Structure 1
Amino acid sequence: MTSRPQLLLLLPALLALTIADPAFARPARPPAKASPVGAVTGHVGGAVSAADPRAAQAGAAMLRLGGSATDAAIATMLALGVVEPQSSGIGGGGFLVTADANGQVDTIDGREAAPHTAGPDWFVVDGQLLTHERAVPGGRSVGVPGNLQLAALAHQRHGKLPWRTVFGPAIALARDGFAMSARLNNSLALFKDIAGLSPAGRKLWFAPDGNPLPVGTVVRNPALAKLLGDIAARGPDAFYRGANARALTSAVQHSTINPAPLTEADLAAYKAQPRAALCRPYRGWRVCSMGPPSAGGIIVLQVLGMLERFDLKALGPASPEAWHLIAEAERLAFADRDRFVADPDKVAVPTAGLIADDYIAARSALIAQGTALPVAESGAPAGAQVAFAAAPPIKENGTTHFVAVDAKGGVASYTSTVESGFGSGLVVSGYVLNNELTDFNLAPDEQGKPTANRVGADKRPRSSMSPVVVFGPDGRFRMAAGAAGGFTIPPQVIRVLTGTLDWGLTAREAITLPVIVPVGDTLLVEAGTPLEGMVPALKAMGHAKVVAIPLRLKANAVESVDGTLRGAADPRSEGAAVSP
């Protein structure tokens, strides 16, 4: 259970700001409350769901001050960068989907960007193409971080509280310290080489004997507290220009592993990009998500569209045939992703064609109940102007998702990432630098043809992140959700949507469902779940390679049921849902 002292840890910074900030001069109310099972019920004043209870409390603190869902989401993102550095932070980027009470949807692309000098052979060093494992650590994998520019643009559009106010909880956590959680301790052990690559990282999270600090150890990050204070006072320029920009680019240029020519000019030129939201109907609901360079939104909308002609409700979650249908739709959507999706500012992505009714109907017609496709190939959507080659899937796993809903009906669904666990392993001023450039196809060509997602100057790599917001037939907010876990993200989100919209489950019940994930010609199912027991049935339908493995899954959601909000956090994680 999340206790009141966890919110009280945030109060010193909030009280310090009270004198200078009228937004804090409000009547006292009880501290935010979090459910012991990760589900908030019966609240109309707002809710926040995040992968760490302290970050969820940071967002809830903003709602208590009368802030918007966007204010809460920014505060949550900043706090997660302190307490969950393996997954996100100001050294990474993200995608944000917001909506107002009238169902108006806004999306912002804060994806990291390659340096201006980057080209297709970026990962060719001394004439040899780097493997993914060799490309991740050090400077060559680092893209220009986007989270703070995303936050600034979102705050300009949808914020209510002063910019400096949303930094208060994160500053307090970094300055005063937080208890090492079991998940962070486990991540440090799992990614020990990359987390301990930088002397600053070793000093922050490891004991003198080289082992991760024990669970419960108070971790203080004064360098990050100072930088966050500077950004709170001076805006994002305190990150993208001046001392921090010099420190960041120096760390990349002089990395002992894979140094790279990222420059201060690259940081100064970066801007978050407003993008057109992608929305499609599904059985009367309206589902909205992020467009390219995210592939996740396209995958989610394609899969739902392909499934709509099947009666999933009648089949139910215990049916192997239902999971077969989901897997087939995912296989076809992933095939399209691998060929067509990339940075729309650099590549002509046939987005409209990929989610058009006639195209999705044609793709759905390829799916047969009870029989698997021998090969799932990409299609020919309208607007596909260039014959790109399909490329193999990319490893990703250092990501987090969080949702905030405010008392006015505003919604923020935000997925943030540093890519792999602890990103590139470089730590500057207490924050982790991403390794997002390994989300590009390392090899620029496949079978003599260029790939859409090859490296390019100022280009943003493709992502699997899939923040969604769902509206009911009456146009009112129904749910916001998202997940972490690389290429498992779209299947996780699809599982939440089918679980709630088709099978009538609560958001938390849907989050606890297992996932089925296509990787090439193999289906991965979550080990230790009912899906593992369905492996023989799936194989009998023609899925020759079905493998049950443990999966690092992490999803969060907030839903509205009969006018009340219910937050949900994945029980596989340390997440929590909090009411203000």
Structure 2
Amino acid sequence: MMSRCLARLGAGIVAFLLPVALTAAPALAQEETGVISRAAPEPATYSGGSAAPATATRQMVVTAHPLASRAGLNALRDGGSAVDAAIAAQMVLGLVEPQSSGIGGGAFLLHWDAQTGAVTTWDGRETAPAAARPDRFLSPDGTPQRWPDMVPGGLSVGVPGTLAMLYAVHQKHGRLPWARLFDEAILLARHGFGVSSRLSALLSAMGPAAFSPAARDYFFGEDEAGPLLGEVRQNPEYAETLERIAIEGPDAFYRGEIADDIASAVRNAWRNPGDLTAADLAGYTAVERPAVCAPYRLYWVCGMGPPSSGGIAVAMTLAMLERFDLGEVPTPEALHLIGEAENLAFADRDHYVADPDFVAVPEGLLDPGYLAQRSALIDPVRAGGIRDSGTPPGVAEPPTRDTTREAPGTSQITVIDADGNAVSMTTTIESAFGSRLFVRGFLLNNELTDFAFVPDDAGRPVANRVEGGKRPRSSMAPTFVFGPDDRLRMILGSPGGSRIIPYVVKAIVAHLDWGLDPQAAADMFNFGARNGPFEIERISGADDWIAALEALGHAPMKVEMTSGLNIIVVRDGGIEAGSDPRREGMALGD
């Protein structure tokens, strides 16, 4: 199995012009909005799969919004590849779900080439301006600034990478013309789309004062009332921007007038003016990186490597769990084991993982012997508390721990085309509405707040500290799972900040160990640990789980855990898909 997997690594438009009827969104988590929701949370109970998965026989697209899924499916129906569908979907998401992703942000993408059997991964993570220094988020007295104070404005904006990455992947794996992939987003931007319940509620919760003047004008208008559910909203500036990019390619974005406007918006921001320049934009490049692949039981799990910690942490967690029987259904004992493995993985992730172009990330983190030693620290019947990092092979002394906060303003695109090629793309502008800076119809990210605010400890550097040109560490975890026959079995990913890692682990275990279909795996209540308290989703019946976990020595917390898992499972003779009910996604296929 190992040798086969190593060899595999190798190297008609439908326009929606009327408001879209969507179900009411669940209550908004405080971590997404920065304010407390005025609505009581809606329980997301584990039903064992009350909703049936979507099914198809040839191809499938799953995104966080029906219009984006429709754009992706139309690209497939026009003969496009999985990459073409992901690009078309992303352009629509930037319009209809601007709080989560867009061309002003970054992304990681996994691609499976069914013909050659190659997994490739693409890094479109944002980069810090050349002028950025390690003390970027320190007060004059040397103490770290408050994270919420640094999100809005220019200091938090990194050079966007999504467009450059998508163009590079399209050059290798696209079939349709680049310009064709912008058609539906341009049409919707010009003629209007129906505002969803989630977008309306997020804007209402944050209020106009949270946004830059340009963003405030677009989202709230002169009366600052904000859009209501179903209100038709147009964005002609976004249409014009996309038209230029469609015709001229990404150079229209990274050079010339658009780049100048981005740099100007950052440097003249209404809050926290930044130092990003047109030269920073012109110098950006997307990077093709090695996939992180590791076995789990009879399967092989592949994910994104650094600067994302997602692939490494998921692989470490699963490797430490492999010696345990997690049963056929979720139990408190199984949740305990998963949380303990996640604590150990996060302890190492917090110390070691950062941009590999600046920091030597230890290869020994995935060494089987090392992971066996770490797994031996798990007591099957007693919680181990906060964990220290280990010392993987080849490391003399670990750097200091970084507890950087990550917000869940992110989205997941999951695609398989008629030839079996697949894409898992996690795409983000960081927190909800990013930096709240609005340029030419799109929002800019606040990705630099994913760096460590404290750059060193007693003279020892933090791996994820700010440096010019560096990419901040991420937890995004687009993932492929291959079966014992080396055939692609599962395509998945989720938004959720650093909780992405527990969300993806939950979904993999739910499907492979507990036999849940992709919709049931997405539906299932969320839980996990990030080298801190065991967290369990605020669900009906959570108190019973908490009591059982307390008996195992945990101090569990009930929290909002707004995942956005979009999952495709490939079975003999068909495709199944599930989209997270906590968001507004949809799976569409033929």
Which TM-score applies when normalising by structure 1?
0.91
Query: Which one of the candidate residues 309, 316, 321 is aligned to 2:333?
Result: 321
1:412 aligns to 2:423 (yes or no): yes
Which residue does 1:510 correspond to in 2? 521
Which residue does 1:105 correspond to in 2? 119
Partners in 2 of 1:513 and 1:422 — Cα distance?
27
Distance 1:356 1:574, change over 3 A: same
Distance 1:421 1:391, change over 3 A: same
1:81 aligns to 2:111 (yes or no): no
CA contact (8 A) 2:391 2:397 kept: no
Query: Which one of the candidate residues 560, 568, 571 is aligned to 1:558?
Result: 568
Partners in 1 of 2:426 and 2:392 — Cα distance?
27
Which residue does 1:286 correspond to in 2? 300
1:244 aligns to 2:251 (yes or no): no
1:159 aligns to 2:174 (yes or no): yes
Q: Where do 1:60-459 residues align within 5 Å?
A: 60-101=73-114, 102-127=116-141, 129-192=144-207, 196-314=210-328, 316-317=329-330, 319-350=331-362, 352-384=363-395, 387-459=398-470
Partners in 1 of 2:446 and 2:425 — Cα distance?
19
Compute the displacement of 1:537 (Å).
1.4
CA contact (8 A) 2:342 2:530 kept: no
Residues 203-257 of structure 1 deviation map (CA, whole Å, 9 limit, x = unaligned): 2221433232111111100001000000000000000000000000000001121
CA contact (8 A) 1:483 1:556 kept: yes
Which residue does 1:26 correspond to in 2? none
Query: Which one of the candidate residues 39, 53, 56 is aligned to 1:39?
Result: 53
Compute the displacement of 1:519 (Å).
4.2
Compute the displacement of 1:309 (Å).
0.5
Query: Where does structure 1 lack aligned partners over 5 or more consecutive residues?
Result: 12-35
Compute the displacement of 1:100 (Å).
1.5
Compute the displacement of 1:284 (Å).
1.1
Partners in 2 of 1:47 and 1:207 — Cα distance?
37
Identity of aligned residues (%): 47
AA aligned to 1:290 is M
Partners in 2 of 1:362 and 1:450 — Cα distance?
27
Distance 1:193 1:10, change over 3 A: closer
Compute the displacement of 1:200 (Å).
2.2
Query: Where does structure 2 lack aligned partners over 5 or more consecutive residues?
Result: 1-11, 19-49
Mean CA deviation greater in 217-226 or 392-401 = 392-401
4+ long deviations beyond 6 Å: none
Distance 1:447 1:533, change over 3 A: farther
Q: Where do 1:48-59 residues align within 5 Å?
A: 48-59=61-72
Compute the displacement of 1:298 (Å).
0.7
Which residue does 2:537 correspond to in 1? 526
Partners in 1 of 2:15 and 2:435 — Cα distance?
33
Partners in 2 of 1:211 and 1:443 — Cα distance?
39
Query: Which one of the candidate residues 534, 537, 541 is aligned to 2:548?
Result: 537
What secondary structure does 1:522 align onto?
coil
Compute the displacement of 1:470 (Å).
1.0
Compute the displacement of 1:448 (Å).
4.5
AA aligned to 2:347 is A
CA RMSD of aligned residues (A): 1.9
CA contact (8 A) 1:393 1:519 kept: no
Which residue does 2:559 correspond to in 1? 549
Q: How many residues align?
A: 546
Compute the displacement of 1:360 (Å).
1.2
CA contact (8 A) 1:49 1:56 kept: yes
Partners in 2 of 1:540 and 1:445 — Cα distance?
38
CA contact (8 A) 1:348 1:384 kept: no
Compute the displacement of 1:553 (Å).
1.9
Partners in 1 of 2:553 and 2:487 — Cα distance?
41
Which residue does 2:8 correspond to in 1? none
Residues 418-477 of structure 1 deviation map (CA, whole Å, 9 limit, x = unaligned): 000000010000101000000000111235432100000100000010000111111111
What secondary structure does 2:327 align onto?
helix
What secondary structure does 2:433 align onto?
coil
Partners in 2 of 1:10 and 1:156 — Cα distance?
31
Partners in 1 of 2:500 and 2:169 — Cα distance?
23
Partners in 1 of 2:440 and 2:332 — Cα distance?
50
Partners in 2 of 1:151 and 1:112 — Cα distance?
13
Partners in 1 of 2:17 and 2:122 — Cα distance?
28
Compute the displacement of 1:387 (Å).
3.0
Which residue does 1:476 correspond to in 2? 487
Partners in 2 of 1:237 and 1:374 — Cα distance?
50
Partners in 2 of 1:193 and 1:6 — Cα distance?
35
Partners in 2 of 1:135 and 1:116 — Cα distance?
19
Partners in 1 of 2:538 and 2:247 — Cα distance?
48
What secondary structure does 2:323 align onto?
coil
Compute the displacement of 1:385 (Å).
5.5
